[in-house]
Structure 1
Amino acid sequence: MNSVRRRLILLHRIPSVTRRMIYKLEQFDDTLLSLFSFTPSEISQFFSISIKEATLIYQQIRNVEIKSMLNEDEKLCHIVTKYDKEYPPLLKNIYDAPLVLYALGDLSLGHHLPSISVIGTRKPTVDAPRKLRHIIGPLLDKDWLIVSGLAYGIDSLAHQLTLQYKRKTISILGSGFYHIYPKQNISLFKQIVKIGLVLTEYPPNISPKRHHFPERNRIISGITKATLVIEATEKSGTLITVDQALEQGKDVYAVPGAPFIPETVGCHKMIQDGAKLIRCAEDILEEWKYL
């Protein structure tokens, strides 16, 4: 294994080392080697952290157990770094791009075009499956790739519809592979691994944390050129992904609905704020020609 790549994966796994720290280290030393020879005092000065935090990093870098777990994880899944050709190209250019991804399934799908991220509320209306089939179905017939997050609601429905069409889908997780969340979607996760791709920036042993999901959302929006919102309430977590998509310079599409239904209020607000109103698949296909 390339030594720089190996060092990046190791540093990425250390809880006390943040992505921002790794970015700073790269600017100073693109081989990442210097950190492995720093004393705790030098680590403290370089990152402007306490000597206690620096000592912990010093110890974790040399922790044999962390290196052993890395070796085991390499047997379980693909580990893709930003240095690798398998790294999804559209993801590489976003702000705060993931440094390391853990993958199960078909790595080539990270390069598949055309593709679109499909997101929405975790508590969709009874009309949501019909909306998805109406808008996404024709795209699947044209071999579009669907990206979503394996969450309850719209995410699950989008993945399920894609599998029904026997097409490809990418699922982005907010946890490691040993801790699939929600547990009710373990079967769906296994189906996606067989014919699609599952990605996460968290090592397999990492359980889901609340802050993981906003982090995960930047990958959902970043891995494609456009994000489609099927349903969203006014204060839906979906809006976090939409904000990230806009910050990344991605296109945002939203499906309208009856004005008195809470699950469409978020979509209407997005359209008022400039999202493209989507009535059918043809609207997306027209936009794709422009993109």
Structure 2
Amino acid sequence: MSIQALIWRLSMTRCVSNQLILKTCQQYYQVSTATDFLLAFVCQHLKTAKHKLFYQRWSQSGSKPPAFLTFFDQAYPQKLRQIYNPPAILYYAGNLALLQNPTAAVIGSRQCNYYTQQIVQGLVPRLVQNQITTISGLARGADSCCHQVTLDYQGTTIAVIGNSLDYFYPAENRDLQKQIQHLGLVLSEYPPHTRPRPYYFPQRNRIIAGLCDSLIVTQAKKRSGTLITAELALQENRDVWAVPGPITQSLSYGCNQLIASGARPFLDAETFIQALRAQKNI
């Protein structure tokens, strides 16, 4: 069995965490490629109550796989390999070549207002002109705005989602997700038939942080998933920019706090693009 087939079949059981898949891959390369040995290794790290379900799903996972990319494939982005707990597998729909482009993640609050819209409308067309691919999480609010404006200006965008590719969340983004699958790239580490769960989205955020070269936060409250993504990006040595806002607005608190903690203030698109071009030598 190839390493790609092993990763895919482990993922399809929906019983094995990403970290355990990576540990099993280590066993594959360093100890044995025997299937019985590898399955026994997995079961050693699963609760006993899950053993029967794991073997049942393993035996059912031999059907034709969806399109996927593994950690060991040449097309897997090197910058994503370097993050903590890199995804062992990414299911995808769209153009994988976009993973090799210069990228800027644009994220913000789901409850964003006209201020985020103004920032995105001013920034994204300039990113498109400079052939920089945008990345976001296809959530309502800032994420959707980023993806839609990118497509409106015939740019390329990558959406990283917190459920499988056969679900559309939120439901109102069904058409937008289909557009991105056709014109850009949609990624998920979750196998088919995986519904969105609240704890999947912080996991999704590490992939956004790992894929981007630079990240911009438009608006964020004091406690939000947006700030989690920004912190992850800082940990991975990405350039993090935050849009300053009025201290009287709760949606500005997170950005102002990021700036106070060392993030670069986003003041205009040109400065941001020049910094990214210098970073990527483009």
- Give the TM-score normalised by the residue count of structure 1: 0.89
Q: CA RMSD in A?
A: 2.1
Q: Deviations over 1:91-148 (max 9, x none)?
A: 12111111111111111001112x1011000011122211112223222221111000
Displaced runs of 4+ in structure 1, greater than 3 A? 31-35, 38-44, 49-60
1:187 to 1:42, Cα distance in 2 relative to 1, 3 A: closer
Q: Return the letter of the residue paired with 2:62.
A: K
Query: How many aligned positions are there?
Result: 279
Q: Return the letter of the residue paired with 2:88.
A: L
SS at match of 1:157: helix
Tell me the CA shift for residue 242 of structure 1: 1.0
Out of 17-26 and 163-172, give the one that drifted further.
Answer: 17-26
The answer to whether 1:14 aligns with 2:3 is no
Query: Percent of aligned pairs with the same residue?
Result: 33
The answer to whether 1:81 aligns with 2:76 is no
Segments of structure 1 that go 5 or more residues without pairing to the other structure are none
Instruction: Please say if residues 11 and 191 of structure 2, whose CA atoms lie closer than 8 Å, have aligned partners that are also in contact.
Output: no
Alpha-carbon distance between aligned partners in 1 of 2:270 and 2:260, rounded to the nearest angstrom: 21
Tell me the CA shift for residue 13 of structure 1: 1.8
Instruction: Please say if residues 22 and 88 of structure 2, whose CA atoms lie closer than 8 Å, have aligned partners that are also in contact.
Output: no
Instruction: Give the counterpart of 1:266 among 250, 254, 276.
Output: 254
Alpha-carbon distance between aligned partners in 1 of 2:75 and 2:37, rounded to the nearest angstrom: 32
Alpha-carbon distance between aligned partners in 1 of 2:27 and 2:183, rounded to the nearest angstrom: 41
Q: Return the letter of the residue paired with 2:57.
A: Q
SS at match of 1:127: helix
1:119 to 1:53, Cα distance in 2 relative to 1, 3 A: same
1:33 to 1:103, Cα distance in 2 relative to 1, 3 A: farther
Instruction: Please say if residues 11 and 190 of structure 2, whose CA atoms lie closer than 8 Å, have aligned partners that are also in contact.
Output: no
Alpha-carbon distance between aligned partners in 1 of 2:2 and 2:224, rounded to the nearest angstrom: 43
The answer to whether 1:184 aligns with 2:183 is no
Tell me the CA shift for residue 66 of structure 1: 2.4
Instruction: Give the counterpart of 2:194 among 183, 203, 206.
Output: 206
Q: Return the letter of the residue paired with 2:156.
A: K
Tell me the CA shift for residue 281 of structure 1: 1.0
Instruction: Give the counterpart of 1:164 among 134, 147, 152.
Output: 152
Instruction: Give the counterpart of 1:66 among 49, 58, 61.
Output: 61
Out of 130-139 and 97-106, give the one that drifted further.
Answer: 130-139
Segments of structure 2 that go 5 or more residues without pairing to the other structure are none
Q: Deviations over 1:127-171 (max 9, x none)?
A: 221111222322222111100011000000000110111010001
The aligned residue for residue 57 of structure 1 is: 54
1:43 to 1:85, Cα distance in 2 relative to 1, 3 A: closer
The answer to whether 1:151 aligns with 2:139 is yes
Tell me the CA shift for residue 90 of structure 1: 1.9
Instruction: Please say if residues 229 and 254 of structure 1, whose CA atoms lie closer than 8 Å, have aligned partners that are also in contact.
Output: yes
Alpha-carbon distance between aligned partners in 2 of 1:122 and 1:42, rounded to the nearest angstrom: 41
The answer to whether 1:125 aligns with 2:124 is no
The aligned residue for residue 137 of structure 1 is: 125
The aligned residue for residue 268 of structure 2 is: 280
